[in-house]
Amino acid sequence: MKEKIYITRKLPAGIVKKLEGEFNIDMWDQEEEAIPREVLLEKVKDVQGLLCMLTETIDEEVMDAAPGLKVISNMAVGYNNIDVDAATNREIVVTNTPGVLTETTADLTFALMMATARRLVEASDYLRNGKWETWSPMQLTGMDIHGATLGIIGFGRIGQAVAKRAAGFGMNILYYNRSQKPDAERETGARFAELNDVLRESDFISILLPYSEEVHHLISAKELSLMKKTAVLINTARGGIVDEDALYDALKNETIWAAGLDVFEKEPIDPSHPLLTLPNVVTLPHIGSASIATRMKMAELAADNLHNSLVGSGEVKSVNYIS
CB atoms within 10 A of CB 27: 17
One of 165, 286, 295, 307 is an active-site residue; which one?
286
Question: Kind and range of the H or E element at 233?
Answer: strand 232-235
Q: What is the 3-state secondary structure (H, E, C) of 41-102?
A: HHHCCCCCEEEECCCCCECHHHHHHCCCCCEEEECCCCCCCECHHHHHHCCCEEECCCCCCH
Nearest Cα to Cα of residue 53 among 18, 17, 14, 27: 27
Residues linked to residue 50 through DSSP beta bridges, in sequence order: 6, 72
Is 216 an annotated catalytic residue? no
d(CA 85, CA 104): 30
Is 286 an annotated catalytic residue? yes
Residues linked to residue 258 through DSSP beta bridges, in sequence order: 232
One of 9, 165, 238, 307 is an active-site residue; which one?
238
Rg (C-alpha) for the chain, rounded Å, is: 21
Residues linked to residue 259 through DSSP beta bridges, in sequence order: 233, 281
Is 238 an annotated catalytic residue? yes
Residues linked to residue 235 through DSSP beta bridges, in sequence order: 207, 261
d(CA 46, CA 65): 9
> Quick one: the chain helix, strand, coil %, rounded to 5?
40, 15, 45
One of 22, 33, 42, 267 is an active-site residue; which one?
267
Residues linked to residue 260 through DSSP beta bridges, in sequence order: 234, 282
Residues acting as catalytic residues = 238, 267, 286
